[in-house]
């Protein structure tokens, strides 16, 4: 298991090598994919990355929460949270 996650620079370099293009083109492609995912999910849609998983937005209802420092309970407003479901192919490749 890796001790540190791959940085964006390392990801761009690996992507450029796999694609056979320069790092600038790979960086542009990665930024475009990230922008596309952000735009689609923030609009309420979902994006499926084949072999990786599905990224989507889920609404959480209004609920009671507790401040751990003071123990005070208060009502937290409804909000949205981004979730990701990992693809079975990726799970299987990690587990054996």
List, for residues 11-57, the tens digit of each pLDDT value.
999 999 999 999 999 999 999 999 999 999 999 999 999 999 999 99
> Is the pLDDT assigned to residue 6 strictly greater than 70?
yes
Q: Which of 82, 6, 74 is nearest to 37 (CA)?
A: 82
pLDDT of residue 80: 93
- Concatenated DSSP letters of 26-87: HHHHHHHHHHHHHHHHHTT-EEEETTTEEEEEEEE--EEEE-TTT--EEEEPPEEEEEEEEP
> Is the pLDDT assigned to residue 67 strictly greater than 80?
yes
Domain boundaries, the chain: 1-43, 46-96
> Is the pLDDT assigned to residue 96 strictly greater than 90?
no
Domain 46-96: assigned CATH number: 4.10.520.10
- In the structure, what pLDDT confidence band is assigned to residue 1 with cuts at 50, 70 and 90? low
């Amino acid at each position: 298991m890796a001790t540190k996650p791959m940085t964006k620079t390392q990801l761009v370099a690996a992507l450029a090598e796999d694609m056979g293009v320069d790092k600038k083109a790979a960086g542009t492609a990665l930024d475009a994919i990230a922008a596309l995912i952000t735009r689609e999910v923030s609009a309420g849609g979902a994006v499926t990355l084949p072999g990786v998983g599905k990224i989507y937005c889920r609404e959480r209802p209004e609920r009671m929460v507790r401040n751990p420092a003071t123990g005070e309970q208060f009502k937290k407003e409804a909000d949205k949270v981004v979730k990701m479901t990992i693809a079975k192919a990726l799970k299987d490749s990690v587990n054996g």
